[in-house]
C-alpha cells in the first residue's frame, strides 16, 4: 500500500495541488498530513483529488473547527489532535506534528512515525521504527515544496520535491 505523506502546507494551494497530483500519479490513494494546514481552504487540493486524508493539527492551525467541518463535509477526511496513533495496513503508525511532543517510548512503540514542524525532509530509523518528515508542502522556509510517498509493506520512502523558478520563494 502506497501512502502520501505531507506536512506544513501553510495555505500554499498551487504547491499542494501539484504535490497531490504527483502522489496520485504514483498510485497513492490516501494521504497522511502531519499538520499546519492553516485555513480550511487549504484542504481544497485533497478534496478536488478525492483522496482519503487523515491528519493531525499543527501549531498554526487556527480554525480547527472550520478544518474539521470542511474535511468531514467535503470528502470524509479525519483530523485529530496531535499525536494520533492508529493501525494502517497491519502497521502501527504514529502521526504527530512536532516529534518533540512525544516520548521516546511512544516513538519506539510504533513501526512508523510521520511528523512535520521542522519543514525539513528527513528519514531515519530508531531501532525498528521508521521516522519520516516529508518536509514542507508549502516551500516557504526553504524554497522547495516537498512531500513523500511511503510504501507501507517495504517501508521504502520516496521524497517528492517541486523544482523550478515558480516554486522558489
| % of residues, the chain, pLDDT over 90 | 86
Task: Note the pLDDT of residue 76.
Answer: 75
pLDDT digit string, tens, across residues 113-127: 999 999 999 999 999
| The residue to which cell 478525492 is assigned | 50
CATH code for the structural domain at 2-167: 3.60.21.10
Q: Which of 61, 86, 52 is nearest to 8 (CA)?
A: 61
pLDDT digit string, tens, across residues 17-76: 999 999 999 999 899 999 999 999 999 999 999 889 999 999 999 889 999 998 887 677
- Counting beta carbons within 10 angstroms of the beta carbon of residue 68, is it exposed (0 to 12), middle (13 to 18) or buried (19 or more)? middle
CA distance 91 to 59: 27
Task: Note the pLDDT of residue 57.
Answer: 97
Q: Which of 11, 21, 63, 1 is nearest to 147 (CA)?
A: 21
Higher pLDDT, 143 or 99: 99
168 has pLDDT over 90: no
CA distance 130 to 128: 7
Amino acid at each position: 500500500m502506497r501512502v502520501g505523506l505531507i506536512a506544513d502546507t501553510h495555505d500554499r494551494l498551487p504547491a499542494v495541488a501539484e504535490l497531490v497530483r504527483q502522489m496520485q500519479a504514483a498510485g497513492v490513494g490516501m494521504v497522511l498530513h502531519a499538520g499546519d494546514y492553516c485555513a480550511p481552504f487549504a484542504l481544497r487540493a485533497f478534496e478536488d483529488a478525492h483522496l482519503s486524508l487523515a491528519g493531525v493539527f499543527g501549531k498554526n492551525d487556527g480554525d480547527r473547527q472550520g478544518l474539521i467541518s470542511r474535511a468531514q463535509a467535503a470528502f470524509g477526511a479525519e483530523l485529530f489532535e496531535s499525536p494520533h496513533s492508529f493501525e494502517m495496513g497491519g502497521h502501527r503508525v504514529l502521526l504527530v506534528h512536532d516529534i518533540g511532543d512525544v516520548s521516546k517510548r511512544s516513538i519506539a512503540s510504533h513501526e512508523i512515525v510521520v511528523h512535520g514542524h521542522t519543514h525539513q525532509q528527513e528519514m531515519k530509523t530508531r531501532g525498528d521504527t521508521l521516522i519520516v518528515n516529508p518536509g514542507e508542502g508549502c516551500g516557504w522556509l526553504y524554497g522547495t515544496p516537498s512531500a513523500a510517498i511511503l510504501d507501507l509493506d517495504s517501508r521504502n520512502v520516496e521524497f517528492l520535491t517541486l523544482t523550478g523558478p515558480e516554486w522558489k520563494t
